[in-house]
Amino acid sequence: MPKAVRFTRYGGPEVLEITEVPQPRAGPGRVLVEVVAAALNPGEIGIREGVFAAVWPARFPEGQGNDFAGHVAEVGDGVEGFSVGDRVLGFAPRAAQAEFVVAGPGALAPMPAGLGWAEAASIAGAGATAWAGVEAVAPRPGETVVVSAAAGGVGVLAAQLAKLRGATVIGTASEGNFGFLRGFGIHPVAYGPGLAERLRIAAPDGVDAFLDTFGNGNVDVAIELGVSPARINTIADGRAVHRYGVHSDAQEQADEPAIWAQLAEYAGKGELTIPIARTYPLDDVRDAYRDLATRHVSGKRVLAVKPFASEGNRR
């Protein structure tokens, strides 16, 4: 029987179990994917801990994970555009961390040659979230954009996408990640008290747009710098959304295979780098989430559901 990550009560990583589940099949209009890699995202911690129970209540036993990459194993009646053996990436809410996933064709995109499994598994979640945030603030050539937590899984992608639009990008990070950001052409600035003044020095002509991927008062800093609420997006500060009327666009606003395919194409051609901080075997899912919870990471953490060689455009 295939394996999947499950939890039967809210709590810390210790509630996660690798359990055997019935073999899924592709019914009419559905596609069965044998998963090779599944990404980890910070929001999954809140779901598992019950923080979002009022919005996304668990239905125990609950699955985990959203974005994945793998091989098409079975195609149901009526499905066009996919064949057994195709390499695909996709989004399966609370089901991705499993050896098999069933999804509709509208939740899958082709995985191009030259793209690694871990990188592909990060596109429909972190990649789409970054895309949506950049679209919301619409950087233009010559403008200056600030990205908070720019070394994180979403931040580093948002920063690169803003640069592809011709913007100058300043990224907030710990000093230990300054070299990492400079490697992408991102100007690093230390986060923490006094951030607004440091950003004024780094951008003497002003900041045009601000992408907040961390919360912790970053939207307040953007407002203090005179950035219009229409040019601010946050994925981590709901109170700021209500207080200032800033954008809160995230994965839901880029939940389209066409967007994932475009991101995959950028990454496959080397125009977008998806840094992978570390991969973990499926059995180490608890350790993976413990590491993710520290929020001290440059790039994505990914479960290797099936063993795979390091490949693709990682750093």
The reply to whether 109 and 176 lie within a common domain is no
Mean pLDDT value of segment 285-302? 91
Q: What are the pLDDT digits (tens) for 258-281?
A: 999 999 999 999 999 999 999 999
The reply to whether 118 and 175 lie within a common domain is no
The reply to whether 56 and 173 lie within a common domain is no
| 163 falls within a domain | yes
> In Å, what is the CA distance from 137 to each residue of 64, 125, 133, 207, 232?
31, 19, 7, 12, 6
The reply to whether 96 and 143 lie within a common domain is no
Single pTM value for the model: 0.95
> In Å, what is the CA distance from 44 to each residue of 22, 145, 265?
24, 28, 27
pLDDT computed for residue 314 by the predictor: 41
CATH number at residue 202: 3.40.50.720
On whether the CB atoms of residues 94 and 47 are closer than 8 A, the answer is yes
| 182 falls within a domain | yes
pLDDT surpassing 60 at residue 311 = no
On whether the CB atoms of residues 110 and 51 are closer than 8 A, the answer is no
Q: Which residues contact 305 (CB under 8 A, 6 or more apart)?
A: 35, 36, 37, 38, 68, 70, 97, 98, 99, 282
On whether the CB atoms of residues 123 and 160 are closer than 8 A, the answer is no
Q: Which residues contact 85 (CB under 8 A, 6 or more apart)?
A: 71, 72
The reply to whether 11 and 96 lie within a common domain is yes
The reply to whether 130 and 248 lie within a common domain is yes
The reply to whether 103 and 213 lie within a common domain is no
On whether the CB atoms of residues 36 and 117 are closer than 8 A, the answer is yes
Q: What are the pLDDT digits (tens) for 153-195?
A: 999 999 999 999 999 999 999 999 999 999 999 999 999 999 9
The reply to whether 102 and 135 lie within a common domain is no
Mean pLDDT value of segment 91-105? 97
How many domains would you assign to the chain? 2
Q: In DSSP terms, which residues pair with 229 in a beta bridge?
A: none
CA dihedral of residues 63, 67, 69, 70 (deg, nearest 10)? 30
| 266 falls within a domain | no
pLDDT computed for residue 309 by the predictor: 74
CATH number at residue 108: 3.90.180.10
| 267 falls within a domain | no
Q: What are the pLDDT digits (tens) for 1-50?
A: 999 999 999 999 999 999 999 999 999 999 999 999 999 999 999 999 99
Residue-number span of the structural domain to which 173 is assigned: 126-252
On whether the CB atoms of residues 191 and 173 are closer than 8 A, the answer is yes
